[in-house]
Amino acid sequence: MFKILSTASALPKCRKTNDDLSTFLDTSDEWISQRTGIRERAVCTDETLTDLLTQAADQALERAGITAQELDLILCATIRGDYITPSQACVIQKEIGASCPAMDISAACTGFIYALDVAAGYFARKKVKKVLVLAGDCMTRMMDWSDRSTCVLFGDGAGAVVLGEGENLMAIQLTANGNVDVLNIPHVGGDSPFDKLPKNQSYLSMNGKEVYKFAVSSMYRDVQIVCDQAGVKVEDVDWIVPHQANLRIIEAAAHKLKVSGEKCLTGIENLGNTSAASIPIVLDRANTEGKFKAGDLLVLTAFGAGLTTGACVLRW
């Protein structure tokens, strides 16, 4: 259906360590790092999500050796773009000078894999030859910064891949299980004089224990399912690229799968949870560092609000 032609990523310039957060939160580097594996994160100050995504998009196009006008489709996975409307994908289309259809994918932290599945459908119908898949969020702008249980977990960033025709997608699996209670961010409200609903702050709310249990079990299940679909054994996979929500979740899932920790690519230590951008950012880091070689088997696996999950097997 497709193959990955290039990867790219972009982060805000400002970085904040756990010690920085402890100056205004009742927390410490030890408290955060022991529970999550996170030590620092990049945070947006004067950057917009459009800035980050445009940087990643331009870099991905340059590395793929194509122009924006050659794109047949732009997909952007994001929780919240810079505008309610138009879509973030349309904003990026204008910024990079493309003229193809563009739309957003809303599947929270699983959004990048959902977008890959949407792209696969377009390739299968022979509707596209070049697709730009973006993922990004400014999560730190959606936090209650007095809540140490959530605000310390997240960072900001964007990732991108350019897809071309090929047969490197071997299997893909998506799930959804509607659940507002475990993880949600209320929407911003207007000022209708007729509106009788309560006005909630647009901050993230999360039940960490439930997310942990859901994440470990779903990653274990999904990785096994896509490996079975692809006709490969989990032990034969060269690299697992998991969603970067919590290092302890990744370690627990790897243990259940009997996968060496060295096969699990992580960047959460200095990125935090960058939502749907976490997989493409880590993918880009590993790619630019030369970790992947032609023919390597990769499994991507994610979970997020929804509750959603996704996994796929790719041959590099």
Q: What is the Cα 233 distance to its own chain's centre? A: 25
**Tell me, what's the pLDDT at 196?**
87
**Tell me, what's the pLDDT at 150?**
93
Average pLDDT score over residue span 34-51: 97
Q: Calculate ∠ Cα 245-247-250, nearest 5°.
A: 85
Span 85-105, pLDDT tens digits = 999 999 999 999 999 999 999
User: Average per-residue pLDDT in the chain?
Assistant: 96
Q: pLDDT > 70: what percent of the chain?
A: 100
CA-wise closest residue to 212 among 307, 114, 115: 307
**Tell me, what's the pLDDT at 41?**
97
CA-wise closest residue to 312 among 177, 175, 130: 175
Active site residues: 109, 243, 273
Q: Phi, psi (5° rounding) for residue 38?
A: -85, 135
Span 287-304, pLDDT tens digits = 999 999 999 999 999 999
CA-wise closest residue to 269 among 42, 37, 109, 43: 37
Contact 287, 298 (CB under 8 A): no
Residue 232: burial class (beta carbons within 10 Å; 0-12, 13-18, 19+): middle
**Tell me, what's the pLDDT at 201?**
83
Average pLDDT score over residue span 226-249: 96
Average pLDDT score over residue span 190-212: 87
**Tell me, what's the pLDDT at 261?**
84
Which H helix or E strand runs over 94?
helix 88-96
Average pLDDT score over residue span 203-214: 90
Span 255-289, pLDDT tens digits = 999 998 889 999 999 999 999 999 999 999 999 99
CA distance 112 to 136: 9
Per-residue pLDDT at 45 exceeds 80: yes
**Domains contained in the chain, CATH given:** 2-167 (3.40.47.10), 171-315 (3.40.47.10)
CA distance 294 to 164: 16
**Tell me, what's the pLDDT at 189?**
76
CA distance 285 to 192: 46
Strands (E), the chain: 2-10, 14-17, 40-43, 73-77, 102-105, 130-138, 156-165, 169-179, 183-184, 205-206, 239-242, 297-304, 306-315
CA distance 285 to 160: 12
Contact 87, 77 (CB under 8 A): no
Strands 73-77 and 130-138: parallel
Distances (CA, A) of 200 to 121, 175, 185, 188, 207: 38, 28, 9, 8, 18
Span 122-173, pLDDT tens digits = 999 999 999 999 999 999 999 999 999 999 999 999 999 999 999 999 999 9
Average pLDDT score over residue span 20-39: 95
Query: What's the predicted TM-score (pTM) here?
Result: 0.96
Cβ neighbours for 143, distance < 8 A, ≥ 6 positions apart: 150, 151, 154, 203, 204
Contact 242, 304 (CB under 8 A): no
Strands 102-105 and 130-138: unpaired
Label residue 211 by pLDDT band (50, 70, 90): very high
CA distance 315 to 230: 10
**Tell me, what's the pLDDT at 57?**
98
> Range with the lowest mean pLDDT among 124-128, 160-164, 199-203, 235-239?
199-203
